[in-house]
Amino acid sequence: MPPADTSSIQLIRDFYARRLQGDRPVISFEFFTPKTDEGDKKLMEVTLPELLQLAPDYVSVTYGAGGSTRAKTLTLVEAIQRRYGLTAMAHLTCVGHMEDDIAEILSEAKTLGIRNILALRGDPPAGQTEFVKPKGGFEYSYQLIEFIRRHGDFCIGTAGFPEGHMACREGKLADWGYLKQKIDMGAEFVLTQLFFDNSEFFEFRDHVVQRLGVTVPICPGVLPILSAKQVVRFTKLCGARIPAPVRARLELLTDDEEGATEFGIEHATKQCEELVREGVPGLHLYCLNKVRSARAILKNLGLAGR
Ligand SMILES: Cc1cc2nc3c(=O)[nH]c(=O)nc-3n(C[C@H](O)[C@H](O)[C@H](O)COP(=O)(O)OP(=O)(O)OC[C@H]3O[C@@H](n4cnc5c(N)ncnc54)[C@H](O)[C@@H]3O)c2cc1C
C-alpha cells in the first residue's frame, strides 16, 4: 500500500501548544472500535460527519482488550484521517504482545500515516482480572513508551488517573509518581481517566505539576453519563468514584435512559465549565460513539465549532 497523504494530519502536542498561546481548549472525542461491519459503517458515515460539525481537533480510537482490535484500530484511524482529513490517534496496549509485535504494529502505523499513539498497558482480556506480562513483552506502559520513542517518530500520549490507578496498591501518590516516569520516558501529553468530581482532578494536577514538576499538558477525560446501569458498570471496571449526589440522582433514574442522558449532559457541562475556567488544555470526551451528549455539552459551553 502506498504511504497515506498525511499533510493535514497534525501532532497532538501541537494542538496543546496552540492552546497555550490562547487558542480555545483542544476538543477531542474517544471512540471504541465497533464490533460489526454495520457499526463501522454507522461510525464512518453517520456519527463522524455529525461530530465533525463540532470541529474537534482530533479523535482517538481504543485498542480492544487482548489486542483483539489491532487491525481494526489502525484501519479505522487511517480511514478517518484519509476520508475526513481529521487527525486521529491510535491507542496501543502491551496486552498479549511481544516486542516484535509492537515493532510490526508501529511500522504498519507509520505506513498508514498514523502519527499519534496513546501508549497504554491495557485492560486485561475478558475473563482475567489482572494484567499478565506477556512473554517477551512489557510489564508497564513506561516501557512501551520508551520502545515507541526509539522505534519511530510518533507523538506519544499516556494515561493519568486523578483518583490513582485501581491496581496500584501503594496508593495514588505512588501511581502519580509512575506517571512522571512515563513522561520522563517520552510521553508528551496526558489524557485522564474519567472522574465525576473535579476536585479529584485538581488535586492530581496540582500534585504532578507543583510537586513532581510535570510540564506536559494534562487533559481531563470526561464521560457524559448515558445510563445509570452503564455508569455503575464502567466505574467498577476503572475504579472511578461516583460522588454521593450523583449516585442519588442516578438511583432515581435507574430505568430512565432519557433522564440519565439529560442528567449526564447537565453534570458534564458543569464539570467542563469549571475545568475550562481553571485553564485545562483541552477536553477529551468519552462520547461512546454517540453524538447527542457531546453536541449538547459543547453547545452549552459555546465550544461547538470554531
Ligand atoms: C485515556 C485512556 C484511554 C484508555 N484506552 C484504553 C484502550 O484503548 N484499551 C485498553 O485496553 N485500555 C485502555 N485504557 C485503560 C488502561 O489501559 C488501564 O487502566 C490500564 O490498567 C493502565 O494503563 P496504564 O497505561 O496507565 O498502565 P501503567 O502505566 O503500566 O500502570 C499500570 C499499573 O502499574 C503501576 N505502575 C506503573 N509503573 C510502575 C512501575 N515502574 N513500578 C511499579 N508499578 C508501576 C501503576 O500505578 C498502575 O497501577 C485507557 C485509559 C485511559 C485513561
Rounded to 5°, the CA angle 277-197-20 comes to 30
Nearest one of 76, 159, 64, 175 to 118, comparing CA atoms: 159
Residues of the chain with pLDDT under 50: 3-4
CATH, domain range 12-225+264-301: 3.20.20.220
Look at residue 128 in the predicted model and tell me its pLDDT: 83
Look at residue 47 in the predicted model and tell me its pLDDT: 98
Look at residue 67 in the predicted model and tell me its pLDDT: 55
Which residues fall within 8 angstroms of residue 116, CB to CB, at 6 or more apart? 11, 12, 58, 60, 87, 88, 89, 90, 154, 155, 156, 157
State the catalytic residues: 30
CA of 144 to the centre of ligand 1 (A): 11
Look at residue 251 in the predicted model and tell me its pLDDT: 96
The span from the CA of 284 to the CA of 286, in Å, is 7
Look at residue 188 in the predicted model and tell me its pLDDT: 98
Beta bridge partners of 92: 119
Pocket of ligand 1 contains residue 72 by CB under 6 Å: no
CA of 304 to the centre of ligand 1 (A): 31
Return the C-alpha cell found at 99: 516486542
Write the residue with the smallest CA distance to atom 35 of ligand 1: 168
Pocket of ligand 1 contains residue 70 by CB under 6 Å: no
Pocket of ligand 1 contains residue 167 by CB under 6 Å: yes
Pocket of ligand 1 contains residue 120 by CB under 6 Å: yes
Could you state, in order of their start, the residue ranges of all structural domains in the chain? 12-225+264-301
Look at residue 123 in the predicted model and tell me its pLDDT: 87
Look at residue 143 in the predicted model and tell me its pLDDT: 98
Write the residue with the smallest CA distance to atom 6 of ligand 1: 62
Pocket of ligand 1 contains residue 193 by CB under 6 Å: yes
